[in-house]
Amino acid sequence: MVITGTSRGIGRGMAEYFLGKGYIVAGCSRSPATLKRKGYYHTRVDVGEEAEVREWIRKIKNDLKRIDVLVCNAGLVQSALLMTVTPSEVLKKFINTHIVGTYNVCREASKVMVSRKYGRIITVSSLGVPLHLEGTSAYSATKSAVIEMTKILAKELAPLGITCNVLGPGLIMTEPAQAMGQEWFDRLLDKQTVKRTVSIEEICNVVSFFAAPESGCITGQVINMALVA
């Protein structure tokens, strides 16, 4: 299993969970590894940099010989600003990580999967997309692009036995979420149908469903947790 953004938050939680389920996990982040366990391989990668991603995936192929599951989790969470006061630099950062980064990783990892005619690709979007949350124009626009990208890729790869699906996690109290402040937390929780935070185990349950060999007919789908949208 390849997971991006594993130095903290949901990505690290997923890495620990699936290591416990017997997966070999190759993770990456722009920062050094914060997880040291048998079966975990960490590489410092900026997913927005094409050359870095290509070299990373090539190394995984050479060392581990295959990629069964890819989870594109790397993302940015920053202070919510109304569109009228959102600097272009903030938008560019979201585009580079969410759109360019997801595109780079999906493209390179899918090439490895194509050779075996098997694979599971899971991208991570956000509840901000269906909820149209105020103050998230840059963030949600790029997360919406991830959904469309994934659905098109699902059509392109379906004949090759590779599925592509999207996870919209419910609110989980990671370090980035805590940094957003209590007001943001309360506002988002109030908009969820299930008015509580979700656990990493619940998030990984959805990933496990998408990743299962028995889910070969599940593709191009979006599961938004804790929400009727």
Q: Which residues pair with 28 in a beta bridge?
A: 4, 43
Among candidates 119, 118, 116, 136, which has minimal Cα distance to 128? Answer: 136
Residue 185 predicted with pLDDT over 90: no
Which phi and psi angles does 125 have, rounded to 5°? -105, -140
Q: CB under 8 Å to 19, separation ≥6 — which residues?
A: 25, 37, 38, 39, 40
Q: How far is CA 94 from CA 21, 87, 123, 181, in A?
A: 32, 11, 15, 20
Q: What is the mean pLDDT of the chain?
A: 95
Answer yes or no: are the C-beta atoms of 3 and 29 closer than 8 Å.
no
Residue 176 predicted with pLDDT over 80: no
Hey, is 221 helix, strand or coil? Answer: coil
Q: How far apart are CA 23 and CA 189, in angstroms?
A: 32
Task: Please report which helix (H) or strand (E) contains residue 223, including its range.
Answer: strand 222-224
Q: How far apart are CA 211 and CA 200, in angstroms?
A: 16
Which phi and psi angles does 205 have, rounded to 5°? -65, -40
Alpha helix locations (H) across 65-163? 88-94, 102-116, 128-131, 137-157
Answer yes or no: are the C-beta atoms of 107 and 150 closer than 8 Å.
no
Q: What is the pLDDT of residues 93-141, one digit of tens each?
A: 999 999 999 999 999 999 999 999 999 999 999 999 999 999 999 999 9
Q: Name the pTM for this structure.
A: 0.96
Q: Which residues pair with 121 in a beta bridge?
A: 70, 164
Task: Please report which helix (H) or strand (E) contains residue 204, including its range.
Answer: helix 200-211
Confidence (pLDDT) at 178: 74
Question: What CATH fold (topology level) applies to the domain 2-224?
Answer: Rossmann fold (3.40.50)
Tokens of 218: 């599940």
Residue 36 predicted with pLDDT over 80: yes
Q: What is the pLDDT of residues 43-71, one digit of tens each?
A: 999 999 999 999 999 999 999 999 999 99
Domain ranges of the chain: 2-224
Q: How far apart are CA 108 and CA 202, in angstroms?
A: 28
Q: What is the pLDDT of residues 190-215, one digit of tens each?
A: 999 999 999 999 999 999 999 999 99
Q: What percentage of the chain carries pLDDT values higher than 90?
A: 90
